[in-house]
Structure formats: C-alpha cells, structure tokens
Structure 1
C-alpha cells in the first residue's frame, strides 16, 4: 500500500562525501534500485476509534437454571451502536461438554466490520456468590458440578460492554 520505501538513515553524510570512500566521484554519484512488483490483493481496513466510549450494562435473569440442558440466549441489547447478546451453554460448549458451564458475549451482526470492545461479565446466584471475567473477547467457564449449588435455580448474567472502535474493509 506504500508508494515510497527506504531507509531514513542509511549512511552519515560525512561518509558519503568523503572522496576516499568512493561514493562521490567528480561531484557525481550513481544510485540504483531493484523493484519487485507482487500482485496486490488490494486489501485494507479503515479503523475508527470512539472518542469517548461509554460502557453499557445489560442484565439477563435466568430462571429454572437447574433444568436447562440446551444452549440459550439473552434478548438482544445495544452497546456502541452494535447489537449484542449473551450466550449460555449450561452443560458446556463443544470443548467442555459436561465439564463446565460456558458463557459468551456475542456480536449479533457486524457485517464486514470488526468490533473492538472490552467487557466484564458476571454471573450472580441467590447465594450472593459472583463469578466474573474481563477482557477483549469472552469465554467464561465454571465447573459444572458447582453451578447449581452455587447459583440456585435462579441467577443473573450481567454484561458491561464498551465499544472502543470498529474496523471496516476498504472498498
């Protein structure tokens, strides 16, 4: 994508103009360049950062937790002009089947955009016990045998999401 390549400090000027070094002869010098053109794929992205990103909180109340077998999703919520949802795998995802409970923060539809966001996800049960994960992308795993005991039959999954920016493909 660059039209100019080079080395900004290739050689000190004193070395270049010193006649015994042979770079400058009779006030003349010769420069050469080899150019290799590779097929350009023309791929590029435009990164747009938010000036003052705001954190958005969303709570999802999950009833009858102990009876859940299949994956379930929260309602869609908006954060940073994007739509998100929480994904709960009560018996673990494909990598943790029947070993852990897995929870994810999912971007609903970003089109061709990549979204850079930070998040905090909490899982709170009746006992007041809270499990939390923070980062850029989420996969929070909890040991399956402890979940029902710690959470009870009702729990709340809470997400705090802050969209920092987006990257879109250039046309």
Structure 2
C-alpha cells in the first residue's frame, strides 16, 4: 500500500492530503513504538507547544481510543493545554492539521477537518478517532513505522477567541469533614465591647470565626447573649462566590458536659454579601448567668463556646 492508494479526499468532513512540508508548530518522534504496548501505555501525551498565543499538546493512542470504542485504528488528538487555556466561559476557534510522516518518501499524511473547531473548558480536545487503520499504520511498505519509530506533527491556526457566557460552577464536596473549634472566654463580666471574635480557624479551606455579643444584638439586645458563625475574610471572596456550610454553635456546660446549650444544625450560603449567620437570641442573659440560674454555662467568670463547621460545597463564577 502506498500514499496514492489512500483515499486522499474529503470524507465525513475530514480532508486527507499529502504534504511535502513538515508541520510548522510541533513534531514528535516515538521510539521504540512497541514499548508503549509492552508497558500498557494506552496513550502518550506530548509536551506542550505554543501556537496562536495558546499552549497545546498532542495525544496519541497507538491502539485506538478505547473510551470512544475505537478499534483497529490509531487515534490522534490536539488538546488545548496550559494555565493560559480558556476556562468554561471562553472559547478559542482554531483550524488545525495533524501529520504522520512517511519515512520512505519524507512526505506527510495530513488530516484536517473542513470546519474550524471550538476549544473551550468543556471541550479541550479535537482530532481523529480513526486517524489511520492499524493495518496501514504498521505496514512497513507505507513507511509510517520504520525501525520501530513513527513521527507525528501539528499545525494550529487560531482564528478568534471570545467570551461566550456568564454563569457559576457549583462544586459539592464528597465525604466532607467536620471541624470543631473551641473558644474559652475568661473574665466574662469584664467584657464591655459590643462584640468579640474568636481566633480564626479553617474549615473546608475557608477561614472562619465565632462572633459573640455579650449584651446581644438586633432582637436580642439587652436580654440575650447573641452568637454567630462568620467568614473571617469575606472581602477576599469574589462577589459571586458562595460557601455552603452546615454548623452548630454551643456553650459548654462546665458542670455537666452532657448538657451543653446548643443550636440545632443549621445550613447557610455564606458570601461576601452575607458573611455571618447565627442567633440574636441564643441564650437569655439571666439563664446564662450562674449567679441567677446555676446552670454551669458561666463558671468562675469564664465560659467555653464551640463551633462545629462542615463545608459541603462552593459556588464560583465561570471565568
């Protein structure tokens, strides 16, 4: 079989041609080719190369892309790569050719699609499931594999790029871990500021704090102790980001740990515009004060506040 016996025309939107010139953007030589199968390498990914202001790579399947049920063919793809690649809401329009060298003649079999392709965050790869049959590829008379080596290449021409949407990505956390933070407050009767914050702690890769209002706030002012869970640095979050967290706040009973005063489990979407959530009427001041109630929440003028926080998901803007 030789080059002229290949069907070098447009079929299924794919144009097959013979090129005297080598690929302008990237060439990859694989040797010994047989070792890919020996070491059970289903695919080989090339290093990154630049074309049109973006980084790309070639991905070669020597026995076909099994995830796409390819049989008896080699598969070859162009993949948008690198940190500067577009995210979900950006797309790059590009025309490309993928090459295979005939080492007998020094010419290249080149495959390209009739229409340019749109590369974006949800579709980073385009190419050819059936680039060439295994029979034609391995037949030494065709020159594609010589002395257990083959050579591929790529040319990429970026036509345009644009933003295509606005939106958000919700990432839920499987097997989320609960974090418990303990805050001991001494000399409670000396607290004269409107509010106090615990030390910052981390749960679900986010920084948090407990907020205490000894004389209450909002509907609990003057009658209740108010307690809140809050993001420690809400201004660092992008305006559209949200954090979905489940939490419990409690005051430890120092006389009988089996009977803390606690909230029920509560969930909330925390964000820059809604950085805290809690209870303005968490516990009445009279019930909290041991001198009046002897409940064990305030002992020797100290109390212990706890927060249990589990982050179950985050929502961020699509870039």
Superposed pair shares fold, TM > 0.5: yes
1:55 correspondence with 2:185:
no
Q: Kindly state the Cα deviation for residue 43 of structure 1 after the two structures are TM-superposed.
A: 4.5
Q: Kindly state the Cα deviation for residue 95 of structure 1 after the two structures are TM-superposed.
A: 2.9
| Counterparts of 1:52 and 1:169, CA distance in 2 | 23
Match of 2:255 among 127, 141, 162: 127
| Counterparts of 1:142 and 1:50, CA distance in 2 | 33
| Counterparts of 2:313 and 2:182, CA distance in 1 | 23
- Greater relative contact order structure (CA < 8 Å, 6+ sep): 1
Q: How many residues align?
A: 130
Choose between structure 1 and 2: higher strand proportion: 2
Match of 1:136 among 239, 243, 267: 267
Structure 2 gap ranges (5+): 1-164, 269-276
Q: Say if 1:126 and 1:154, in contact at 8 Å, map to a contact too.
A: no
1:139-163 per-position Cα deviation (integer Å, ceiling 9, x unaligned): 2311112212232211111111110
TM-score (norm 1): 0.70
Larger Rg: 2
CA RMSD, Structure 1 to Structure 2 (Å):
1.7
| Counterparts of 1:69 and 1:101, CA distance in 2 | 13
The within-5 A match list for 1:146-165 is 146-149=287-290, 150=295, 151-152=297-298, 153-165=301-313
1:102 correspondence with 2:226:
yes
TM-score (norm 2): 0.39
- Which segments of structure 1 move beyond 6 Å, counting only runs of 4 or more? none
Equivalent residue for 2:317? 169
Structure 1 gap ranges (5+): 1-41
Q: Say if 1:65 and 1:148, in contact at 8 Å, map to a contact too.
A: no
Q: Kindly state the Cα deviation for residue 94 of structure 1 after the two structures are TM-superposed.
A: 2.8
